[in-house]
Amino acid sequence: MGNPRIAIIGGGIRGRIFAETTHHHPAADLIAICEPDPGRAQQLAGELGVPAHDSIEALLATGAQIDAVVVATPDFAHEKPAIAALEAGLDLLVEKPLATTSAEAERIMAAAERGGGRIVVGFENRWNPLFAAVRRQLRADGHALVSQRALLQDTVFVPTRMLGWAALSSPAWFLMPHSLDMATWLSRAEPVEVYARGVKRVLPSLGVDTWDRVSASFAMSDGSILDLDSGWVQPLGKPSVFEFRFEVETEADAFVLDIDDTGVRRATAERTLGVGPLPHDHRGRPQGVAADMMRDFLDAVGGADLDLPGAEHGLLITRAIEAVHRSLETGAVQQITS
């Protein structure tokens, strides 16, 4: 039996990482890029020597043999390609959040039931070795959690220049799935209730009608509390386009993770910037958490037995972020059903 055959749906920043990682993987074959923008599709597909299609439906219509697909379309546009892939019986890696409504998430899961493929949701921070080290220590100690608190925010570059579809998402949809997934993965507890507040002022004035910032206070199933803040209006002069600080407090210990701070800084005549690893290593291979996650997905498609975040968890995160938005709109505390 040969290498698993992989198609990437979405040729943006993330799709490129997944495509390049597959291209470099010794035990997987990239077979197509599906991307509606013809220029972007040709560029990426041409670089990697595979055909481009404008949609997964077009690819499936060719009758090509495929084992798995990655859906790296915008937040709100996961359902259609995911269902197409799953109904074809393919394995699926889908970017977080699984979907931006729980109804969509449930339809995706129903398609997996029908087709028999597996769903992995791209909660890539699980591949950050620092989060993993903290999790290992928490498990080893076994102390009950008291609280978690996280700030994950972007500069205004992300909603105004990087994403064309920010008004159809929010800092809660785009960022909180990361911090909420970490909170559940570190604690083994689930969010059961949320109260949220937000501000919607700066981005609307820039023509992007969504929340500037969202603060969410969660009750967790183990009796601990969780505070998540996410925003999209930090100034462009920050050392990094994102800021991610995560704090965990147990009955005995306290952990602080400054994920965006690599300890390396560069000052130029204009400003000081953080320096992180390059997107590719010295041998041209993609590096970073998204590439590492993708390699595990490829190995899992190839038969490896790995513990990957699945659809049930993806649905829970979607329900929790839905509840955040309901609380923002109603001003009332919201229950989260699991």
Residues 78-137 that bind a second copy (CB under 8 A): 129-130, 132-134, 136-137
Task: Give least dist CB 271 to a second copy, A.
Answer: 4
Task: Give least dist CB 178 to a second copy, A.
Answer: 16
Lookup: tokens for 49: 């020597």
- Give all strands of the β-sheet with 119-122 in edge-to-edge order: 52-53, 29-34, 5-9, 68-71, 91-95, 119-122
Task: Give least dist CB 290 to a second copy, A.
Answer: 15
Binders of a second copy in range 190-229 (CB under 8 A): 195, 197-199, 201-202, 212-213, 215, 217, 219, 223-225, 227, 229
Binders of a second copy in range 298-317 (CB under 8 A): 306-307
Q: Which is nearer to a second copy, 177 or 231 (CB)?
A: 231
Q: Which is nearer to a second copy, 38 or 303 (CB)?
A: 303
Number of residues that bind a second copy (CB under 8 A): 75
Which amino acid does the sequence have at 194? V
Mind giving me the DSSP string for 152-186? EEEETHIIIII-S-GGGS-HHHHTHHHHHHHHHHH
Q: Which is nearer to a second copy, 115 or 122 (CB)?
A: 122
Q: Torsion-angle region of residue 89: left (phi > 0), alpha (psi -120 to 50) or beta? A: left
Binders of a second copy in range 229-288 (CB under 8 A): 229, 231, 233-239, 247, 249, 251-272, 275-278, 281-283, 287
Q: Which is nearer to a second copy, 50 or 196 (CB)?
A: 196
Q: Torsion-angle region of residue 155: left (phi > 0), alpha (psi -120 to 50) or beta? A: beta
| 3-class state of residue 305 by DSSP | coil
| 3-class state of residue 232 by DSSP | strand
Q: Which is nearer to a second copy, 56 or 289 (CB)?
A: 289
Q: Which of 66, 7, 18, 96 is nearest to 310 (CA)?
A: 96
Task: Give least dist CB 215 to a second copy, A.
Answer: 5
Task: Give least dist CB 241 to a second copy, A.
Answer: 12
Q: Among all chains, which residue has been given the structure tokens 């959040």?
A: 97
Q: Which is nearer to a second copy, 114 or 266 (CB)?
A: 266
Q: Which residues are CB-contacts of 190 (< 8 A; sequence separation ≥ 6)?
A: 184, 220, 221, 316, 336, 338
Binders of a second copy in range 2-31 (CB under 8 A): 26
Binders of a second copy in range 28-57 (CB under 8 A): none
Q: How many CB atoms lie within 10 A of CB 244?
A: 22
**What is the C-alpha to C-alpha distance for residues 328 and 43, in angstroms, rounded to an integer?**
41
Task: Provide the greatest CA pair distance for the chain.
Answer: 59
Task: Give least dist CB 142 to a second copy, A.
Answer: 14
- The H-or-E segment that residue 257 falls in is strand 254-258
Task: Give least dist CB 58 to a second copy, A.
Answer: 35
Q: Which is nearer to a second copy, 207 or 307 (CB)?
A: 307
Q: Which is nearer to a second copy, 276 or 303 (CB)?
A: 276
Site string for a second copy, 135-174 (x = CB under 8 A): -xx------x-xx-x-x-----------------------
Task: Give least dist CB 17 to a second copy, A.
Answer: 15
